[in-house]
Structure 1
C-alpha cells in the first residue's frame, strides 16, 4: 500500500509540476507582454517595436490613433507628427519593413475590424503575396487570443521574459515617432551623399547590376505580364478602399532612383502597367488618390539614396506629405500618359558613364 501511495504522489507531482510551471510562465508572459498584445505596457511608459508585423496589433487595439501610415521601408521614415500638421488626423506609423501587400492586408483587416480610420497613407510597392515575417505573425491578427502566446514562445522573448529584462531589444523603444526611422542609423547616413559612399560603405550593392553590359532601354508593354500583380491588388488592396468609403486612402508611388530604372527597365514597365490598371479600378472612387514623383529631378540625383537604388532620404517622405496637403503630384487617367512619357524619356537619357568610370578606378 505505501508503494501505491508513493506512486500516486509521484504521478500527481509529475502532472502538476509542468502545469504549475506553465501557469507561472504564462502569467509572466501576460504581465511582461512587451508587444502589448494583451494590454498597454506596464513599464511606466509605453514601449514600441520597430518590427511592425508584430508591433502593429497592440498599437491598433490599445491606442487612440485615427489615421495610419502603412507601407514598406519606403514610408518608415515618414513622420507621424508631420503628417498630423499637414493632414488632418492623429497619425501613427505602423509600416512593416519589406512587407508585401499580402502582409499589409493582414494588418489592415485587423485595423478595420477594430477601428474606423479617418486616413491611411499607403505605399504602392511589393505587389506580391509573400510572407516575409520571421514568425507566423498572422496568428496575432486572427480572432483567437490564446494562440497569441506563440509570439513569445521563442529564444528571443523567453529569455527576456524569464529575466524581466527592460533592455530595448526586449521591450522596445519609448518613442513611437522614431521607432521605425531607419534614416537615423549611422550606416544609412554614411551611404547618403553619392556613388562614392555606396562604394565605400555598401560595396555589395554593386554586385546587383552589371554596368559594363547595359543595353539601350526599350520600353515594350508586351514584355511585361502583370496578371499576378492585378490579382494580388484585387485581393489585398482594393477591397479595403472599396469597402471603406469613410476612409481616405493616400497611395504613394515611391520614387526609386533614375539609376534603378535605367539598370532595371522592366521594373519601370511593371510600375507603369500596374499604375495605369489601378487608375482604371479607382476612377469612380472619391476616397483614394495616387501620388507620384518619378517625373521630378529628385530621382536623378543618386546622392538622395541611402546606399542602394531605391531607398530615398527622409526629405522625400516630407515632400510626399506636402503633396497630400497641397493636392499636388496627383496621378490621374488624364495626366498619366504625359507623366509616364516624361519619365521614360528621363530614364532613356540617364547617363551611367560617371558611375562606370568610378568603378573602373577602384
Structure 2
C-alpha cells in the first residue's frame, strides 16, 4: 500500500514536471523572444539586446530590404536615417568585435531567408581581417543558427529566455526601439579628450618593421571565404563597404607597433579587391581630419560619436563624399589618394605632445 502511494506521488511529481516543461516550451514558442520561429507578435514589448542570439532570428523573420552589418562601429546607426535619406527599410544586425566569419554567418541567413535585399552596408575593421577564416569574436549558439529543431531544447527550455526575455518585459514593458537597437551606452559626457586619454594605454614599441605584405594573406583568405562569395552570388544587391574613422590614437598604435606600411597596404588591398565588383561601392573615412584629430569626438580610441554615424549615412545617400573611385572613374578619389593623405597625417602628427598631456 505504501509502495503504491509512493509510486503515485512520484508519477504525480513527474507529471507536474512534464506539464511545466510543456507550458514553458509553449510560452517560448508563442512569444519567441529570439524570433527563431516567427516574426514578432504585435503588442509584445520585446527586449532586444543580445546580438549573438537575436540577430539570426531577426535576419530570418523581420521585414526589411536592406541591412547594416559590422562591429560596434555600426551600432550607433539609426535605421530611420536610411528610410529618411534613401527610402530603405533597414535592419541593423551588428556584432561587437565582429570578425569576417561573423559577417558570413549572418549573411548566409539573410540571403537564404528569401528577402529581396537591395543594399548591404558593411563596415570593415582591418584588424579583424588577419584572423582565421573560421574565427568568431564569441562562440555562437549554434542551435539558433542551424536548421536542426532537435537542438532547440536549449532555447525553449532556457530559464534565462523565460525570465529575462518574456517575464521581465511583461512586468516592465519598455520595448526596444528597433531603429536604435544595440546603441552604445555612452552618454554625451563620455565623449571628451580627457576621458579618452585617461583610459588609453600606448602599446609596447616594436623595433622591427612589419613587411608591407604582412597582413595580405589572411585578408585575402577572409575575403575569399567569408565576404566575396555573397557579393558574387547576389549581383542585384548593392554592397556599400566602408572603413570607419578611428581616432588618431589608433594610428599611434600602428606607429608604435611599427606596421604603418602593412596597415596601409591592407586598406589598399581591401579597397581595390572589393571595388572591382560592379555591385560594390567603397567609402574611406579614416583620413577625416575633422573627426579623427579631435578626441572630443570619441569615447575611447576608436569609438566615435553617433553624429558621425549620421554623417556617414549622409555620405552613402550623397554617393560622393568619402567614395573610393573605381578604376577609370572620375567619381570620388582613388584609394592611393586617400592613403597618401592618411600617411601624411600620421607621419606629421605629434603623438608625443598628445600623450604627454601638454
- Per-residue deviation at 1:188? 4.3
Alignment of 1:158-197 (within 5 A): 158-160=162-164, 164-166=167-169, 173-182=175-184, 185=185, 187-194=186-193, 196-197=194-195
Matched, 1:248 2:247: no
SS at 2:195 equivalent: helix
- State the TM-score, normalized to the length of structure 2: 0.83
Matched, 1:76 2:75: yes
- Per-residue deviation at 1:251? 0.4
CA gap 1:119/1:345 in 2 versus in 1, 3 angstroms: same
Matched, 1:198 2:200: no
Higher mean displacement: 12-21 or 347-356 = 12-21
CA gap 1:30/1:270 in 2 versus in 1, 3 angstroms: farther
CA gap 1:153/1:350 in 2 versus in 1, 3 angstroms: farther
Alignment of 1:251-270 (within 5 A): 251-265=241-255, 268-270=260-262
Superposed CA deviations along residues 117-160 of structure 1, whole A, max 9, x for unmatched, are: 11110111232443333x63232121123433424655532434
CA gap 1:347/1:172 in 2 versus in 1, 3 angstroms: farther
**Is this contact kept in 2: 1:230–1:274, CA < 8 A?**
no
- State the TM-score, normalized to the length of structure 1: 0.82
Q: Give distance in 2, aligned partners of 1:23 and 1:267.
A: 57
**Is this contact kept in 2: 1:250–1:290, CA < 8 A?**
yes
Tell me which residue corresponds to 1:221. Answer: 212
Tell me which residue corresponds to 2:203. Answer: 209
CA gap 1:100/1:225 in 2 versus in 1, 3 angstroms: closer
CA gap 1:197/1:283 in 2 versus in 1, 3 angstroms: closer
SS at 2:169 equivalent: coil
Aligned partner (choices 135, 141, 145) of residue 137 of structure 1? 141
SS at 2:249 equivalent: helix
**Is this contact kept in 2: 1:35–1:171, CA < 8 A?**
no
Q: Give distance in 2, aligned partners of 1:268 and 1:153.
A: 50
Alignment of 1:1-362 (within 5 A): 16-42=15-41, 44-45=43-44, 47-114=46-113, 115-125=115-125, 126-127=128-129, 128=131, 129-133=134-138, 136-151=140-155, 153-160=157-164, 164-166=167-169, 173-182=175-184, 185=185, 187-194=186-193, 196-199=194-197, 203=198, 205-209=199-203, 221-222=212-213, 224-265=214-255, 268-297=260-289, 298-306=291-299, 308-328=300-320, 329-332=322-325, 334=327, 335-358=334-357
Q: Give distance in 2, aligned partners of 1:139 and 1:273.
A: 39
Q: Give distance in 1, aligned partners of 2:173 and 2:282.
A: 36
Superposed CA deviations along residues 15-67 of structure 1, whole A, max 9, x for unmatched, are: 64543332222123223422222234447245241322222233233322111
CA gap 1:333/1:164 in 2 versus in 1, 3 angstroms: closer
**Alignment coverage as a number of residue pairs:** 342
CA gap 1:344/1:118 in 2 versus in 1, 3 angstroms: same
CA gap 1:29/1:267 in 2 versus in 1, 3 angstroms: farther
- C-alpha RMSD of matched pairs (Å): 3.1
Unaligned runs of 5+ in 1: none
**Is this contact kept in 1: 2:284–2:338, CA < 8 A?**
no
- Per-residue deviation at 1:296? 2.0
